[in-house]
RNA sequence: GCCCCCGUGGCGCAAUUGGAUAGCGCAAGGGAUUUCUAAUCCCUAGGUUACAGGUUCGAUCCCUGUCGGGGGUACCA
């Protein structure tokens, strides 16, 4: 039973007692009631019920007969126009048009409330965005940020308490890489000028160096006649090559500040560069730097011969990470120096995307809690030792998650466990939603199972998984030189393109003798921003989040079809008419107006408007913002049809004009609300 | 090797989780404009839902197998 008033609930409430009467399995009642839904084909009716077939099996009768009996029981419902049986036993419902009109009148108040009444408010922690702060955000972070932010708004609108938390990757290996890079590869003058850019550059270089050795080693291992002679030969060749480079560049010693990257084309080592989102593997590789010989000179590197010979760079930055975690004074102070720079960069993007968080508790926040957490889990034998590490797996054959490494360092699984405990202690949430890339499915499966054994089985832990962001050819998005596309560049591009298209469109309309509103430069900037950013967000949200997503600026800004621009434009049209009517919007919003639904366009529009609450509920239930987008697309399309067929300001009578103005207003309110839930802004004119 | 996800008109995607004749947008072709903002609306064409079986009143959806694509697979996160 829901106290949320909606068309669907009206039907369900009406059918509940009737179904109960026939049902032999009362526990199935809700399943059957769930089979009442919006008609798939409007020609069949407004809503349909598909339960007669299932019921038939249960009762051993013919579905059509059962359906007819149910219809008979419904005959005294005044709001029902027709209920008919079709096909194998579908029941089609059609509401009385006058009743819909009256419903809309009372709905006028409800839709203007800032949130819906919730009969059962719950606490949700939503964990989203969660970038590595050691480097600039790029497209990979977009989906988590946008989907997460939308879910926050949607759950809040439904009356729930939502705690949004950005689980920053601010303590992991990325910082070890940054520290190593800072100590060995930094260009000091550049760092002085622009620390953010220089740290980003250094990060990419360290990554490349590490990958160089991986590739190098793979090459060695693939040689079947791998032997000492070959290694010696390679070493000689390398020295030869290096002395050439040095001569050419007039460099004698190869030292940190002078390390240069030779330009080269390579497509081999850059092929696993999709960011994993949450504290993701920065497997992003810049271009080939095979020519580069590292200057891994730290004495401390000798500690681990094995990993040194495998990959000295990786060994070196791991060591920096270990030192940071162990509280090494220099590294900690450098971490404190880097963090504000990193955060500043990230906050800039959030500001543009209009995304915010209640908390930004990164990995570092939980660091001190890890020993206790892991000890507790070990003591309860939820974790077990294996090969020097402390691991979790559900059973012998299940996948293993390392929680504490053999060198004593904690992994992100340990951090995530501590985070669950912390969130439980602080917020006692009903659910925690992790908006993270699908590739971490295994991790979360293990994490959730482990948390359950640990005693947190009462929290609804959900991995809100989403697919990769790909380019128009279905490949990971990269710049021409093989780097991941940075988010601010991409947003710039979107806004720039929005402006260009606006100008084009404006010239077009002027050529056709249309009257164009004169906008100031600031207003045009605003249009470009709202349209551009909206396009990026909507394109992402309108797609089923579980599938991969092809990022195409051209398509998302085409301004035709199912794009945010289409919705924003429909909104502008609503507002345009209302403005011309001379009515005071706020005052008119409080007025109850008699609604006339004489045309099919008006009726369809109203029916869609009244499905608003059901849509938001369904969206939240499946954590699927694209339901909301589909609704918006329908609504805006129906409004445009209404706009074409039903004159508002020139309606035949004053009453009809008022009625239609009210439809414009309610449509405007719903479009704006829906877009806002998705994190997309609207304009009054464009 | 093992595990997970995906395969739907030329392209990009839906199908509210087992419902009726599989929808929509681009792109293609045709039409509407002395406009309430045409960034719009209407019409046409385009499909054996990768393939082969199975389950049942009914399958894009569930099961088995095959092919193709992506991802994961213990000390990165």
SS (H, E, C) A162-202: EEEECCCECCCHHHHHHHHHHHHHCCHHHHHHCHHHHHHHH
Question: Would the pLDDT of A119 be above 70?
Answer: yes
Q: Which of A144-153, A306-315, A614-623 has the lowest mean pLDDT?
A: A306-315
Q: Which of residues 519-548 of A touch strand B (CB under 7 A)?
A: 527, 531, 542-544, 546-548
Whether the CB of A277 is less than 7 Å away from nucleic strand B comes out as no
Q: Which of residues 176-235 of A touch strand B (CB under 7 A)?
A: none
To 5 degrees, how large is the angle CA A320–CA A291–CA A305? 40
Higher pLDDT, A260 or A546: A546
What is the nearest nucleotide to A579, using C1' and CA? B36
User: What residue spans in chain A does CATH classification 3.40.50.620 cover?
Assistant: 123-170+342-470
pLDDT band at A518 (very low <50, low <70, confident <90, very high): confident
Q: How far is the CA of A648 from the C1' of B67 (A)?
A: 58
User: What is the CB-side half-sphere exposure of residue A396 using CA atoms within 13 A?
Assistant: 0
Give every CB contact of residue A349 below 8 A, 6+ residues apart in sequence. A137, A487, A488, A491
Higher pLDDT, A207 or A673: A673
Give every CB contact of residue A22 below 8 A, 6+ residues apart in sequence. A55, A59, A66, A69, A70
Whether the CB of A30 is less than 7 Å away from nucleic strand B comes out as no
Best CATH choice for the domain A123-170+342-470 from the list 3.40.50.12240, 3.90.226.10, 2.60.40.10, 3.40.50.620: 3.40.50.620
* pLDDT value of residue A289: 28
Is residue A615 within 8 A of residue A628, CB to CB? The reply is: yes
Is residue A383 within 8 A of residue A375, CB to CB? The reply is: no
* pLDDT value of residue A284: 34
pLDDT band at A277 (very low <50, low <70, confident <90, very high): very low
Is residue A508 within 8 A of residue A544, CB to CB? The reply is: no
> ipTM of this complex > 0.90?
yes
Q: Mean pLDDT, chain A, as a whole number?
A: 86
pLDDT band at A325 (very low <50, low <70, confident <90, very high): confident
Is residue A188 within 8 A of residue A262, CB to CB? The reply is: no
pLDDT band at A609 (very low <50, low <70, confident <90, very high): very high
What is the nearest nucleotide to A440, using C1' and CA? B72
* pLDDT value of residue A302: 40
Question: Would the pLDDT of A245 be above 60?
Answer: yes
Is residue A541 within 8 A of residue A462, CB to CB? The reply is: no
Highest-pLDDT range among A130-139, A295-304, A617-626: A617-626
Q: How far is the CA of A223 from the C1' of B77 (A)?
A: 32
What is the nearest nucleotide to A685, using C1' and CA? B37
What tokens appear for A351 in the block? 């500001």
Q: Which of residues 87-116 of A touch strand B (CB under 7 A)?
A: 87-88, 90, 92
Place of tokens 């009631």: A33
Whether the CB of A405 is less than 7 Å away from nucleic strand B comes out as yes
Q: Report phi then psi at A162, rounded to 5.
A: -120, 130
Say which CATH topology domain A7-95 has: Gyrase A; domain 2 (3.30.1360)
Q: Report phi then psi at A37, rounded to 5.
A: -150, 170
Q: How far is the CA of A672 from the C1' of B12 (A)?
A: 26
Q: Report phi then psi at A54, rounded to 5.
A: -65, -40
Say which CATH topology domain A487-677 has: Isoleucyl-tRNA Synthetase; Domain 1 (1.10.730)
Sign of CA dihedral A533, A534, A539, A545: positive
State which nucleotides on strand B lie below 7 Å from a protein beta carbon.
4-6, 12-17, 19-21, 24-27, 33, 35-42, 57-58, 70-77
Place of tokens 């839904």: A37
What is the nearest nucleotide to A638, using C1' and CA? B41
* pLDDT value of residue A282: 41
User: What residue spans in chain A does CATH classification 1.10.730.10 cover?
Assistant: 487-677
Question: Would the pLDDT of A222 be above 70?
Answer: no
| H or E element in which residue A419 lies | helix A412-427
Residue nearest to nucleotide B12 (CA to C1'): A550
Candidates A102, A671, A642; CA nearest to A651 is: A642
Sign of CA dihedral A570, A576, A581, A585: positive
Whether the CB of A276 is less than 7 Å away from nucleic strand B comes out as yes
Q: Which of residues 627-666 of A touch strand B (CB under 7 A)?
A: 627, 630, 633, 637, 640-641, 643-644, 646-650
Q: Which of residues 548-577 of A touch strand B (CB under 7 A)?
A: 548-550, 552, 555, 558-562, 565-566, 569, 572-573, 576-577
pLDDT band at A517 (very low <50, low <70, confident <90, very high): confident
Question: Would the pLDDT of A224 be above 60?
Answer: no
Residues A547, A551, A556, A562, Cα dihedral to 10°: -10
Q: How far is the CA of A622 from the C1' of B51 (A)?
A: 32
Higher pLDDT, A483 or A676: A676
User: What is the CB-side half-sphere exposure of residue A241 using CA atoms within 13 A?
Assistant: 11
Question: Would the pLDDT of A263 be above 70?
Answer: no
pLDDT band at A298 (very low <50, low <70, confident <90, very high): very low
Q: How far is the CA of A98 from the C1' of B45 (A)?
A: 39
The span from the CA of A636 to the CA of A30, in Å, is 32
User: What is the CB-side half-sphere exposure of residue A295 using CA atoms within 13 A?
Assistant: 16
Residue nearest to nucleotide B37 (CA to C1'): A573
* pLDDT value of residue A313: 84
Is residue A536 within 8 A of residue A494, CB to CB? The reply is: yes
The span from the CA of A350 to the CA of A129, in Å, is 10
User: What residue spans in chain A does CATH classification 3.30.1360.70 cover?
Assistant: 7-95
**Total length of chain A:** 686
pLDDT band at A265 (very low <50, low <70, confident <90, very high): very low
User: What is the CB-side half-sphere exposure of residue A58 using CA atoms within 13 A?
Assistant: 16
What tokens appear for A484 in the block? 């991941």
* pLDDT value of residue A579: 95
Whether the CB of A383 is less than 7 Å away from nucleic strand B comes out as no
């Amino acid at each position: 039973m829901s106290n949320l008033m909606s068309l669907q609930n009206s039907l369900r409430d009406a059918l509940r007692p009737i179904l109960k009467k026939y049902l032999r399995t009362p526990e199935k009642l809700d399943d059957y009631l769930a089979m009442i839904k919006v008609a798939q084909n409007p020609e069949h009716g407004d809503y349909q019920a598909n339960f007669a077939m299932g019921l038939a099996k249960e009762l051993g009768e013919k579905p059509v007969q059962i359906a007819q009996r149910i219809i008979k029981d419904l005959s005294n419902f005044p709001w029902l126009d027709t209920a008919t049986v079709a096909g194998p036993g579908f029941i089609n419902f059609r509401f009385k048009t006058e009743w819909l009109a009256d419903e809309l009148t009372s709905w006028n108040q409800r839709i203007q409330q800032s949130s819906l009444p919730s009969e059962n408010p719950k606490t949700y922690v939503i964990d989203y965005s969660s970038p590595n702060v050691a480097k600039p955000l790029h497209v990979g972070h977009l989906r988590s940020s946008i989907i997460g932010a939308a879910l926050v708004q949607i759950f809040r609108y439904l009356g729930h308490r939502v705690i949004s938390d950005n689980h920053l990757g601010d303590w992991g290996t990325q910082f070890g890489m940054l520290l190593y890079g800072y100590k060995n590869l930094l260009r000091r003058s550049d760092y002085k000028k622009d620390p953010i850019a220089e740290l980003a550059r250094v990060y990419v270089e360290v990554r490349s160096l590490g990958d160089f050795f991986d590739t190098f080693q793979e090459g060695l291992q693939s040689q079947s006649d791998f032997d000492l002679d070959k290694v010696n030969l390679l070493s000689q060749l390398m020295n030869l090559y290096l002395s050439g480079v040095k001569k050419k560049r007039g460099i004698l010693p190869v030292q940190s500040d002078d390390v240069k990257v030779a330009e080269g084309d390579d497509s081999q080592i850059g092929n696993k560069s999709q960011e994993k989102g949450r504290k993701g593997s920065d497997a992003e590789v810049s271009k080939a730097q095979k020519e580069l010989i590292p200057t891994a000179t730290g004495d401390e590197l000798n500690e681990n011969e094995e990993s040194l010979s495998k990959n000295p760079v990786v060994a070196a930055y791991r060591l920096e990470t270990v030192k940071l975690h162990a509280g090494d004074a220099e590294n900690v102070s450098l971490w404190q120096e880097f963090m504000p720079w990193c955060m500043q960069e990230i906050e800039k993007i959030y500001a543009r995307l209009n995304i915010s968080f209640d908390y930004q508790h990164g990995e570092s926040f939980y660091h001190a809690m890890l020993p206790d957490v892991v000890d507790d889990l070990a003591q309860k034998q939820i974790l077990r030792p294996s090969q020097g590490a402390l691991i979790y797996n559900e059973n012998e054959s299940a996948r293993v998650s390392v929680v504490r490494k053999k060198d004593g360092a904690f992994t992100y699984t340990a951090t995530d466990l501590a985070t669950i405990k912390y969130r439980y202690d602080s917020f006692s949430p009903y659910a925690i939603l992790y908006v993270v890339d699908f590739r971490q499915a295994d991790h979360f499966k293990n994490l959730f199972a482990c948390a359950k054994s640990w005693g947190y089985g009462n929290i609804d832990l959900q991995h809100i998984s989403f697919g990769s962001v790909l380019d128009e050819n279905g490949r990971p998005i990269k710049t021409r030189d093989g780097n991941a596309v940075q988010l601010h560049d991409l947003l710039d591009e979107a806004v720039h393109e929005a402006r260009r298209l606006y100008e084009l469109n404006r010239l077009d309309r002027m050529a056709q003798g249309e009257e164009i509103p004169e906008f100031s430069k600031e207003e045009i900037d605003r249009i470009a921003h709202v349209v551009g950013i909206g396009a990026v967000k909507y394109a992402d949200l309108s797609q089923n989040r579980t599938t991969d997503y092809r990022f195409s600026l051209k398509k998302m800004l085409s301004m035709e079809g199912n794009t945010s621009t289409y919705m924003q434009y429909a909104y502008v049209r609503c507002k345009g008419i209302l403005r011309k009517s001379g009515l005071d919007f706020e005052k008119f919003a409080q007025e109850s107006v008699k609604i006339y639904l004489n045309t099919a366009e008006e009726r369809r529009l109203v029916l869609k408007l009244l499905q608003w609450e059901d849509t938001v509920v369904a969206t939240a239930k499946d954590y699927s913002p694209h339901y909301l987008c589909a609704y918006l697309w329908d609504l805006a399309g129906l409004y445009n049809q209404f706009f074409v067929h039903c004159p508002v300001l020139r309606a035949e009578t004053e009453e009809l004009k008022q009625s239609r103005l009210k439809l414009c207003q309610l449509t405007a309110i719903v479009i704006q609300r829906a877009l806002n839930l998705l994190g997309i802004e609207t304009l009054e004119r464009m």
